[in-house]
A and B are shown apart, each in its own frame.
Chain A
Amino acid sequence: MKKFEELTIGDTLGPLDLIVTKEQCRNYAKISGFGEVAGRFTDEEAAKKEGLPGIILPGNMSLGLLSKLVTDWIGPANARLIRMGTTYRVPVQPDHRLVLNGFVTNTNPNDRTAEIDVWIENEEGERLVTGTATVEFPK
């Protein structure tokens, strides 16, 4: 992790290639208490009845993966993710290849923060989830 002074607009996070398994998806849903209310995250048949191709990731899980992209970038440094906003554009499916990306879009020396664009895309390069994050560096 760079120091705040070493950051440059355009610095990249990722790309991180990953596949979320159905098991991970179900586990995440259960932990978040979704299991009993929304079968679309846990049960293939229930998801298909809703017109979905199969079970999908909870939106919060996508937010979790993008947060992890940022906290992995921070690593053991003493900087902190202080804000994240996400937009869920297209349902994200388990057992499909996902690519997580990000880059620094702005730095603010007054409050020592960096603004970051983040997104999850599929193999075709379609952006499924987009977001922005703010990281605060030690004063």
Chain B
Amino acid sequence: MVDFDPAIINKVFENTDPVEVKPEMIARFCASLGESNPLFTDPEAAKKGPYGGIVAPPSFAVTFRNGRHFFDHIPRYGRRGFDAGKDVEFVAPIHPGDKISLSSHVKEIYEKTGRTGTMVFVVIRSTLKNQKDEVVAHIDHRFMNRP
């Protein structure tokens, strides 16, 4: 079984400074994905929608960067790891003007043997909060390494 210090699990290694969500950030994000839903792109139409104005598309949550040293804290096993997948819980919509900060910890480390051999997965959970200290999303980043 893969060897690691159990003390690293659940220990928060990263708290980022808040990033203010400017309306143009949402607009640029929408343009890059070809987004046309008026709830995300049309301020007038969005006023009549469930949020009373534009909100960011849910997947905007994954664009917030972890700190510069994020990757220094991900345990490495063997060759360079890669992004194997994500699990995102969209707790509350992100509005223009929100100030979003992230905190991250190692959630779990596990080994799996598949067709192509043994793989070690490291799951980092980042929690996003707004300026009111409300959680807006949990993001589990799943990194795969081959020992």
Contacts and interface: CB of A to CB of B under 8 A. Distances in A.
Q: Do these two chains interact?
A: yes
Interface of A: 18, 24, 27-28, 31-33, 59-61, 63-65, 67-68, 71-72, 75-76, 78, 80-88, 131
B46 to A, nearest CB: 10
Interface residues of B, number: 30
A31 B25 contact: yes
Given A31-B25, A71-B58, A85 B86 contact: yes
B6 interface: no
B47 to A, nearest CB: 12
Given A31-B32, A86-B87, 20 more contacts: A24-B32, A24-B33, A24-B34, A31-B25, A31-B29, A32-B62, A59-B86, A60-B86, A65-B33, A67-B57, A67-B59, A76-B37, A76-B49, A82-B89, A83-B88, A83-B90, A84-B86, A85-B85, A85-B88, A87-B85
A72 B37 contact: yes
14 contacts: A24-B33, A27-B28, A31-B29, A59-B85, A63-B88, A64-B33, A64-B57, A68-B37, A72-B37, A80-B90, A84-B88, A88-B82, A88-B83, A88-B84
A60 B32 CA distance: 12
A80 B40 CA distance: 13
A59 to B, nearest CB: 5
Interface of B: 25, 28-29, 31-35, 37-40, 49-50, 57-59, 62-63, 65, 82-91
Nearest to A20: B34
Given A24-B34, A31-B25, A32-B65, A59 B57 contact: no
Contact of A71 (B29, B32, B37, B85): B37
B84 A75 contact: no
B32 A88 contact: no
Nearest to A32: B63
Contact of A68 (B31, B57, B91): B57
A18 B59 contact: no
B138 to A, nearest CB: 9
A27 to B, nearest CB: 4
Nearest to B138: A83
Contact of A60 (B58, B59, B90): B59
Nearest to B46: A76
A82 B61 CA distance: 12
B57 A88 contact: no
A81 B90 contact: yes
A84 B91 CA distance: 11
Contact of A64 (B62, B65, B84, B85): B62
